[in-house]
């Protein structure tokens, strides 16, 4: 992995953390659940990203910046798909913690 790839990976990670959804104070349980599911999708996408970045391409799609953009979008969608299956339990744990935090704030 070269320095440019590492920097792109770090930038994606920082952007994902900054864009991680957070519930507003006083959110309903449904809003908290949706936020937890969104968090799970972002987390899973960030876990999948290195796997896709290490793949060699055949060059048919150009192997340039447009391919990296498409790959990034594809990984985000994979994260959303896996999160919808509720197979990891991450959203459940996040939801419980958000509900606890909301109780403390009240």
pLDDT at 17 over 90: no
Q: pLDDT at position 69, please?
A: 80
Predicted local distance difference test score (pLDDT) of residue 63: 64
What total number of domains does the chain contain? 1
Q: Which tens digit of pLDDT belongs to each residue from 35-87?
A: 899 999 999 998 888 888 777 766 655 566 777 788 888 899 999 999 989 88
Domain interval for residue 40: 3-105
Determine the pLDDT at residue 9. Answer: 64
Average pLDDT of 14-22? 60
Tokens 């290195």 correspond to 50
* Residue carrying the six token digits 């793949």: 55
| 22 backbone dihedrals φ, ψ, rounded to 5° | -130, 135
């Amino acid at each position: 992995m070269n320095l440019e790839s590492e920097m792109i990976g770090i930038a994606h990670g920082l952007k994902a953390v900054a864009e991680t959804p957070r519930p507003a104070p006083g959110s309903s349980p449904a809003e908290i659940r949706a936020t937890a599911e969104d968090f799970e999708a972002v987390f899973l996408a960030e876990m999948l990203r290195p796997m896709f970045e290490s793949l060699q391409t055949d060059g048919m799609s150009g192997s340039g910046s447009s391919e990296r953009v498409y790959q990034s979008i594809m990984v985000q969608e994979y994260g959303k798909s896996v999160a919808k299956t509720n197979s990891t339990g991450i959203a459940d744990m996040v939801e419980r913690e958000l509900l606890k935090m909301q109780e403390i704030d009240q």
